[in-house]
Amino acid sequence: MSRLNWLGRWSIPEGSWLARMLERKPRMLVAIARANRMARAIWAMSTKKENYQDPARATA
């Protein structure tokens, strides 16, 4: 929830997944979706024994 608070909204890049979700859904639901997304990424990294790869850098 700290990422989604009033001050955190100014640092969320416009057009990002998080910003698009916040436009359509309630804050609490977005916080749960973000936690779910992070948990799935962490699980995938731990099962594949890989380090985090920033998706923004991978597409650039």
DSSP-assigned states of every residue in 1-60: -GGGSTTGGGGSPTTSHHHHHHHHS-HHHHHHHHHHHHHHHHHHHHHHT-----HHHHH-
Give the residue-averaged pLDDT of 1-24.
Answer: 74
Does the pLDDT of residue 58 top 60, yes or no?
A: no
| Structure-model confidence comparison of residues 58 and 21, the more confident one | 21
Does the pLDDT of residue 4 top 80, yes or no?
A: no
Residue 52: give the domain boundaries: 2-59
Number of separate domains in the chain: 1
**Comparing 1-5, 13-17, 46-50, which segment has the lowest mean pLDDT?**
1-5
Question: In angstroms, rounded to a whole number, what is the distance separating the alpha carbons of residues 33 and 21?
Answer: 9
- Write the single-letter amino acid at 33: A
